[in-house]
Amino acid sequence: DAMVIQNPRYQVTQFGKPVTLSCSQTLNHNVMYWYQQKSSQAPKLLFHYYDKDFNNEADTPDNFQSRRPNTSFCFLDIRSPGLGDAAMYLCATSRALLVDTSNQPQHFGDGTRLSIL
């Protein structure tokens, strides 16, 4: 059974048109992460939530925002997508902050592939 669910799997939007990607989890994990992965590159962390506390990476563009209305859901909002934002967006969860966990890995969703027209 899927534990980290991302919707939609594929998203097409127009240049400059706001888009929202969704992630939900059934694991009741405290931490949720958003990564951007461009073709043939490593995943790049955008931000994460520890419960309601939001932590933004220093180099994440202002164009990217996130919301976590409850434990189960987390959203990635791209306010004005540019062509360079086309990528796979991966949501992940972990039970606690990684520095505090023992051998618990992150659990990744299947990703949303975003295309910009």
Residues in contact with another protein by the rule CB under 8 A? 31, 40-45, 48, 50, 55, 57, 90, 92, 97-99, 102-111, 113
Tokens 């994460």: give the residue. Answer: 48
Rounded to a whole number of angstroms, the minimum distance from the CB of residue 116 to another protein is 18
- Our CB check for another protein shows the closer of 48 and 68 to be 48
Rounded to a whole number of angstroms, the minimum distance from the CB of residue 26 to another protein is 16
Instruction: Determine contact, residues 6/22, Cβ cutoff 8 Å.
Output: yes
Rounded to a whole number of angstroms, the minimum distance from the CB of residue 16 to another protein is 26
- Our CB check for another protein shows the closer of 73 and 108 to be 108
Residue 7: closest CA among 114, 116, 115:
114
Alpha-carbon distances, residue 6 vs 30, 33, 64, 108, 116 (angstroms)? 17, 12, 17, 9, 18
